[in-house]
Amino acid sequence: MSTPVSAPKPLPDDYLEYPLRRYGMDHDRYEWSMLPQRKQVAWPHKARIALWVSPALEWFPLNMAGLPFKPPGAMQTAYPDLRHYTLRDYGNRVGIFRIMKALARHNIPATVAVNAAVAVRHPSLMAQCHAAGWEIMANGMDMDHLHHGGLSKEDEQKWVAQTLSILRQVSGQAVRGWLSPAKSESFNTLDILAEAGLDYVCDWVNDDMPYLMKTASKPLVAMPHSADIDDYTILVNNHHTENDFRDQLIDHFDVLYKESATEGGRIMPISLHPWVIGQPYRIKALEEALAHIMSHPGVWAATGSQIMDAWQSQAS
């Protein structure tokens, strides 16, 4: 005997009602804006491209909790995972100095994202960054202190305050920029960062140019810190070759350079991890990409703060 089939129930009247359905994102953090329709930007020195290189100096604790998730580069095997721990440490001991040499060859200043734990553990490394004229950008406490929705606002405020206190004291800089570990945020992060006196944030990867984000106290500038073309994504996560990495940086630059001829200034961000690209067999890929970029007229190599200030001066 077959089971009778119930008649389908009609959807409730409010099923398709959504108060935040509109053109753009379903939040109020920024105004919806398509890049081709924005005011064109003119960089200093009549440059077409602002080159922004940002290495990361990270510390991954050997006894990582990995909560609420393991960030890129986290420990992988049973404790003590010395194989991965020492490879990450290689970047701060060896790899970063190959990056410094590659950038110095073309007189390229960097904005280095620093975990507060690195500043405490390696003050001599911070002195080297200062001597190179690099800008310090905050990168959280360490790679096991992730900002996320399950974190209390009070704890997150303490983490941000402690991070900035350490980095500002060690570097002697204002420390105007912030990159969250693993680009992870809570719904409170932006408000906390603005309240702490920061000017720009690098966690949102939905644009090629800066834009203003709303917070409870003051606007923050979202800077285009792409995860698509960083060395970890291409070489470790995507398992591409070193030649692929070089070619993707070059292709990325070539498209932006072509666009800048008619659409105004563009930003070429290059995010680097010294334990990845700082290996002897990999550094050549970065050197060749930089040589290609810097061979073009109209390339302005600058820090994140310099680029942000130039953009803000004409954004209104």
**Helices and strands: H and E segment counts in the chain:** 11, 9
Q: Give the model confidence (pLDDT) of 214-252 as tens digits.
A: 999 999 999 999 999 999 999 999 999 999 999 999 999
Residues 200 and 62: their CA atoms lie apart, in Å, by 30
Q: Give the model confidence (pLDDT) of 10-61 as tens digits.
A: 878 777 777 766 666 668 899 888 999 999 999 999 999 999 999 999 999 9
**CATH architecture of structural domain 42-312:** Alpha-Beta Barrel (3.20)
Q: What is the pLDDT of residue 8?
A: 77
What is the per-residue DSSP string for 81-146?
Answer: -HHHHHHHHHIIIIIHHHHHHHHHHTT--BEEEE-HHHHHH-HHHHHHHHHTTPEEEE--S-TT--
Q: Mean of the pLDDT values across residues 264-284?
A: 98
Q: What is the pLDDT of residue 15?
A: 75
> What are 72's two structure tokens?
């890129």
Computed over every residue of the chain, the mean pLDDT equals 95
> What are 83's two structure tokens?
């194989």
Residue 118 · residue 58 · CB < 8 Å: yes
Please, what sign has the CA dihedral across residues 166, 176, 100, 95?
Answer: positive
Q: What is the pLDDT of residue 160?
A: 98
Phi then psi for 70, rounded to 5 degrees? -85, 125
Q: Among the listed ranges 3-12, 170-179, 261-270, which one has the minimum average pLDDT value?
A: 3-12
Q: What is the pLDDT of residue 257?
A: 98
Q: What is the pLDDT of residue 198?
A: 98
**Which band of pLDDT confidence, cut at 50, 70 and 90, is reported for residue 316?**
low
Residue 241 · residue 254 · CB < 8 Å: no
Q: What is the pLDDT of residue 171?
A: 96
Q: Mean of the pLDDT values across residues 104-110?
A: 97
